[in-house]
Amino acid sequence: MTILDESGNNTEYQLPSTSFAKTQLPSTETAAAKNPHLYFKVPSALWTGGYIQALSGPGLVMLLILLAERAGEKAVWFGTKEFPARYFISAGTRTKGTKELQALSLLTTLSVPLPQPNGDVFDPRRRRYLYRLNGAAVLSQNEQQP
């Protein structure tokens, strides 16, 4: 019996930590091709505080997306057209998950106006939502990567 990689490409299985370490070596490949085993840490306070257990599917998927985007370190935003194409979840799931994270004080959302292209008062007022994880959703000093 031979354990193969879960991608189905018929290559031998490697531990994610080994694969990740190998991708840190200098290479001319693109980031996505170079790093198919990228992973991130989930703050232990989410487990010990009972947040993971309390989250519904939409809340958990938005938490994982925001953790992957490092929203605990910096504010992030998503384009309305690019978000569903990139993550394959609906706008309703995004909204429900975001509201759930806000209700648990794990997420702060800020709406900021975008510059008007022509400065015309008849241009529609466009806004961008910035997301930032906080509280138990942020890695503690002990958990942060070196």
pLDDT tens, residue order, the chain (146 aa): 888 877 778 888 877 666 656 655 565 554 444 555 567 788 889 999 999 999 999 999 999 999 988 888 889 888 888 888 888 999 899 999 999 999 999 999 998 887 766 666 665 677 788 999 999 988 877 776 54
Place of tokens 């996505």: 32
What is the pTM (predicted TM-score) of this model? 0.70
- In angstroms, the Cα distances linking 93 to 51, 64, 111 are 18, 13, 19
Place of tokens 């925001």: 66
Q: Which of 67, 51, 50, 43 is nearest to 100 (CA)?
A: 51
